[in-house]
Amino acid sequence: MTDDASSAVPPTPSAGLRPDTLAVRGGVHRTPFDEMSEPIFMTQGYVYPTAANAEAAFAGEIDRYQYSRYGNPTVTTFQERLALIEGADACFATSTGMAAVFVSLASILRQGSRLVAARALFGSSITVFNDYFTEWGIQVDYVDGHVNADWERALATPADAIYVESPTNPMQDVIDIPFVAALAKKAGALFVVDNVFATPIGQKPLELGADAVVYSATKHIDGQGRVLGGAVLGTDEYINGPVRTMVRTMGATMSPFTAWVLAKSLETLSIRVKAQAASAMDLAAWLDSHPKVATARYPLLPSHPQYERAASQMTLGGTLVTIDIALPDGVDPHGPEAKAAAFRFMDALQVIDISNNLGDAKSIATHPATTTHRKLGADGRAAVGMCDATVRLSIGLEDVEDLREDLERALAAV
Ligand SMILES: *Cc1c(COP(=O)(O)O)cnc(C)c1O
């Protein structure tokens, strides 16, 4: 629905423009008032000039807004803008990131389908796969996502969908997206990438061969801790087919106010993420050689186990640094002393907040083992290389020297 005929000012053409321009100019549909900023259409629905017009809309004979669960002009602006930045044919917005994760798979999987997923996943995604999909008769098989031989074994038999996060949360394993994409084609599976850690600025999964991308827009896309949101991107056939039908019907629609906040946030996403990633890279290198830190994980640090792979598929290393606090010899990294060391560090931070969000302008420290990744259990955490001394740092927009001083002070308290 891109009817701009009523506005005197023509929309900016998108062809040939670069992502940073499209982030500001894309998806603009001015009303007859020719307003500068994008309008918010806070409306539940729409009125029809005649009863016959309503009938034609419901019969699918004309394409127009009918009801905001189905579509809303402000939500359209967000969807078009994100699709242009991502280089996707189409985008559908959802109420939260988890709605996007759920719909990206539930809209195409049926009883008897097979889903192959990388083991290292966001906690709620694991709950959806293990407690719902499995109960509904969907076979879910897990692999170690960063091990290519594991994918070859798992995808020697047909599958319907493949799901990964790359880099993974919080251990930052990097999955070989082009390699998995080639296997996905042969296996006949839809390959979905949760691109939250990398952001649309740092990695383009569709260019690397994936079929679909999901976002929690709650993270970097908002980046200022205000709203919850999500999005699924991919081909027109998939997004405007099963994805759209399921979101509209189950009701996990994005609100117009949220879409307005997020459309405006997309204008600054690139400069925010680039600045945050530069600070994260700087702090990661410093933390990796700090005596109180056992390891610092960051995809574009040469010490990262999949550094070459990360450098070939990511243009930015992201805004997160995952550290293991150094423990004295003989201390169990999965035991209470490790947890106490991590807590002492976090409680001594004065600038960086303790929270479970990420990608925000405000830097955040998270203890995954007791919060976001609690549901994995100790064995599940050990399987993805996480311990009780692991702390995830989301680097924000503060002066990097203030963050360094805060981290130095907190490490001294361990
Ligand atoms: C936060 C997050 C989600 C879920 O998003 P919500 O907006 O919280 O529903 C999914 N995947 C990853 C990697 C996340 O970090």
CATH classification for the domain delimited by 269-413, as one of 1.10.10.10, 3.90.1150.10, 3.90.1170.50, 3.40.50.1100: 3.90.1150.10
Domain ranges of the chain: 19-265, 269-413
CATH number of the 19-265 domain: 3.40.640.10
Nearest ligand 1 atom to the CA of 165 is 13
For ligand 1, whether the C-beta of 101 sits within 6 Å is: yes
Across the range 105-131, mean pLDDT stands at: 95
Nearest ligand 1 atom to the CA of 230 is 7
What residue owns the CA closest to ligand 1's atom 8? Answer: 97
Query: In testing the pocket of ligand 1, which one of 98, 119, 366 has its CB within 8 Å of the most ligand atoms?
Result: 98
For ligand 1, whether the C-beta of 222 sits within 6 Å is: no
Across the range 134-163, mean pLDDT stands at: 97
What residue owns the CA closest to ligand 1's atom 6? Answer: 97
Query: Is the pLDDT assigned to residue 3 strictly greater than 70?
Result: no
DSSP state at residue 376: G
- Residue 2: pLDDT band with limits 50, 70, 90: very low
Among candidates 9, 273, 224, 215, which has minimal Cα distance to 96?
215
For ligand 1, whether the C-beta of 359 sits within 6 Å is: no
For ligand 1, whether the C-beta of 168 sits within 6 Å is: no
Buried b / exposed e along 287-319 (16+ C-beta atoms within 10 A): bbebebbbbbbbbbbeebebbebbeebbebbbb
pLDDT tens, position by position, 79-116: 999 999 999 999 999 999 999 999 999 999 999 999 99
Nearest ligand 1 atom to the CA of 98 is 9
For ligand 1, whether the C-beta of 97 sits within 6 Å is: yes
Query: In testing the pocket of ligand 1, which one of 168, 219, 258, 357 has its CB within 8 Å of the most ligand atoms?
Result: 219
- Residue at token pair 């996060």: 165
pLDDT tens, position by position, 338-377: 999 999 999 999 999 999 999 999 999 999 999 988 888 8
Compute the distance from residue 57 Cα to the ligand 1 centre, in Å. Answer: 35
Query: In testing the pocket of ligand 1, which one of 129, 199, 216 has its CB within 8 Å of the most ligand atoms?
Result: 216
Compute the distance from residue 33 Cα to the ligand 1 centre, in Å. Answer: 37
Query: Is the pLDDT assigned to residue 14 strictly greater than 90?
Result: no
Q: How far is CA 227 from CA 221, 230, 262, in A?
A: 10, 10, 8
Return the pLDDT at 316.
98
pTM score, two decimals? 0.95
For ligand 1, whether the C-beta of 198 sits within 6 Å is: no
For ligand 1, whether the C-beta of 324 sits within 6 Å is: no
Burial-class residue 66 by CB neighbours within 10 Å (0-12, 13-18, 19+).
middle
